[in-house]
Structure 1
Amino acid sequence: RELGALLAADEGLRILCGADSLAGVAILADALADAPRPLDVLVELGGAQGRTGARTVAEGERIAAAIMAAPGLRLAGVTGYEGPFGPDRSAASVAAVDGFLATLVELHRRLEYPDGVRPVLSAGGSSFPDRAAAVLGAAGADAEVVLRSGAFQIHDDGFYSRMSPFGPLTHTAPLRSAMHAWSRVVSQPEPGLALLDAGRRDVPFDIDLPAPQSVAGTVTALNDQHAFLRPADGATVAVGEVVRLGLSHPCTAFDKWRVVAVIDDPDAADPRVIGAVATCF
């Protein structure tokens, strides 16, 4: 209902959403039955062991038919998320991702869209935007390809640094990480162990633990407010020393910080804070 009110208030506004079930379409149709302008809805296609999304092209066709039959809705394209089908950049993973993306194109080609609609084909997380562009782009000029690669904004020093196609794989400049955590050594209770004042409340840990960058060593565990740093052989840290940490998976960094400091140079001996940005996540 709120989306319908926004569309009614601004004739130039376009809102796209997804539906992956007849039940979802029914909820949208009920809320927007009297809307002055229809809401654009993409059929979301998924796959076995994937995330959300209809599991077959035939199911997607039934969802599309339900959208077309609803007065307050307009069929506007096909969407999906390829990430679950490729845990790495191996040939098998890339083939699985391409296979899934091909089903999006297949569903798109089976659908008949309302007059005047240039359908949207959307996929492309931050691991396989190259494959999404290649496979969805092959659908031709009759569709608008929209990539949803949000992690490019700051990249990382972990998961996406391993997965990103930018660099030698695509003969392009690589992305650089633009976010780090700055922590302080607060305790050295025993040889070979230093405790930092950055923990689960501060840094991502859902895929990889943070990696120390200003000192050789490994973070082996996190508590709520502490990181367990094991310095490498020959490396030393002192209580009070500041340690820069590289992060993995920026999504779960954004959700921990409402405001992020901007610094002039992360490699400087004494970086200066020159601004701040609010996160909207």
Structure 2
Amino acid sequence: MLNVDALERNLRRMADDCRAAGVALRPHTKTHKSPWVARRQLRLGAAGVCAAKVGEAEVLVQAGIEDVLITTDLVPATMERALDLAGLARVTVVLDSVAMARELGARAGRRGVELDVLLDLHVGQQRTGVDPGPAAVAVATAIAEAPGLRLAGLQAYEGHCQLVPDPEEQRRRAFASYELMAAGRREIEAAGLRLPWVTTAGTGTYRLAIEHGMATEVQPGSYVVMDTQYARVRPARFENALFVLSSVVSTNREGRAVVDAGWKALSSDGGAPAVRDRPEATYEFAGDEHGRVQGLGAVGAGERVWLVPSHCDTTINLHDGYVLVGDDGRVVGTLPVAARGRSA
């Protein structure tokens, strides 16, 4: 269930925050996986959107989205598809190795394609990205020198900072990442290369990136619908707009109602979901198809229980579509999760 009224308020709040700060907003569509939502973000002033993988970018571009940053580094198996997309829209990619820069440049050169590339810089997440220093300068130089490639800037995602619950500790870790980003940029520009575009941050850290001042752009995703993980970090700014509507199917277990939503309907990587508007109630997974809910009081079979996912991105990826509702609960339509499963 997607509350479109809450969605709209979330979209406007983030757009307003970035506009007021003078920082570009490039929302990450890996959360909602919907060109319809992406178009609403663009109408509110987003500079473009992000896609996690080439498959997601294909869905967006085919739906008419004209400016997409693919935030996962390309490898030979995905390069030709990305180059195909570059003929249809403004597509930017990221790279973190000399070998892949040379490979992509050779392929782009053979096809007569020019492609903007961001250096993917590692700032502490222990995932992708080249470490700041000579290795980063070497990759940036390889991108700049490759036929068909334009070095446009750098991406430095501080994903390890997103869900740090203590505000001061989160700020300390995030600023340490931004200082690595700033140092990496200085070293590369000292080598005679320009990096005008600096993109980073997520829902949990976008305000810290704005405060630090190095980023020219932020790429939050989960703010559109939120979840219980992010609500603990950003409890007031954005609203829960995503729910899984379950039904009570059994009340034979004393003190617990069994509902028809389990691992197939709700992702578990972020823990158990919450029960909407019932902080005293707790949910626990009871298998693929079921969950147990304590604290509901007297309920009967067939009664509805609205659940708030713990991780919005991975829960959305379990479903083919959204049922759209307003604040009043009235159903106003349906919407496909168009990029579901497009993870390659």
Aligned mates of 1:62, 1:107 — CA distance in 2? 12
In the TM superposition, 1:27-66 aligns within 5 A as 27-48=103-124, 50-66=126-142
Q: Deviations over 1:109-132 (max 9, x none)?
A: 33249x997721011111101112
- Could you tell me the TM-score, scaled by structure 2's length? 0.68
2:170 aligned partner: 93
- 2:198 matched to which residue of 1? 121
Distance 2:285 2:102 in 1: 46
Alignment partner of 1:130 out of 194, 207, 212: 207
After superposition, the Cα gap between the structure-2 partners of 1:200 and 1:62, relative to the gap in structure 1 and judged at 3 Å, is same
Higher RCO (CA < 8 A, seq sep 6+)? 2
Partner of 2:336: 278
Distance in 2, Cα, partners of 1:50 & 1:242: 42
Structure 1 contact 180–245 (Cα < 8 Å) conserved? yes
Determine if the alignment matches structure 1 residue 255 to structure 2 residue 326. Answer: no
1:225 deviation in Å? 0.9
Name the larger-Rg structure.
1
8 Å Cα contact 1:18/1:42 also seen in 2: yes
Tell me the distance in 1 between the aligned counterparts of 2:181 and 2:257.
50
Structure holding more helix per residue: 2
% identical equivalent positions? 26
* 2:226 equivalent among 144, 148, 155: 155
Query: Aligned letter for 2:132?
Result: T
Length-normalised TM-score, structure 1: 0.82
Q: Deviation at 1:222?
A: 4.0
1:182 matches 2:245: yes
User: How big is the shift at 1:4?
Assistant: 2.9
Render the CA deviation track for 1:178-214: whole Å, top value 9, x for unaligned.
1111111111232122210011111232112111125
Shift of the 189–97 alpha-carbon distance from structure 1 to 2, 3 Å rule, reads same
Q: Deviation digits for residues 230-249 of structure 1, max 9, x if unmatched?
A: 226xx222222111111222
Residues 95 and 151 of structure 1: is their aligned pair in 2 closer, same or farther, counting only changes over 3 Å?
Answer: same
Runs of at least 5 residues in structure 2 that lack an aligned partner in the other structure? 1-79
Q: What corresponds to 1:196 in structure 2? A: 259
Q: What is the identity, as a one-letter code, of the residue corresponding to 2:287? A: N
Give the aligned partner of residue 81 of structure 2: 2
Instruction: Give the superposition deviation at 1:261.
Output: 0.4
Tell me, in whole angstroms, the C-alpha distance in 2 between the residues paired with 1:236 and 1:148: 44
More displaced stretch, 99-108 vs 210-219:
210-219
Aligned-pair RMSD on alpha carbons?
2.6
Q: CA deviation at 1:49?
A: 5.3
Residue identity matched to 2:335: V
The letter of the residue matching 2:158 is E
Aligned residues: 258
Aligned partners of 1:181 and 1:246 also within 8 Å: yes
Equivalent residues of 1:78, 1:107 under 8 A apart: no
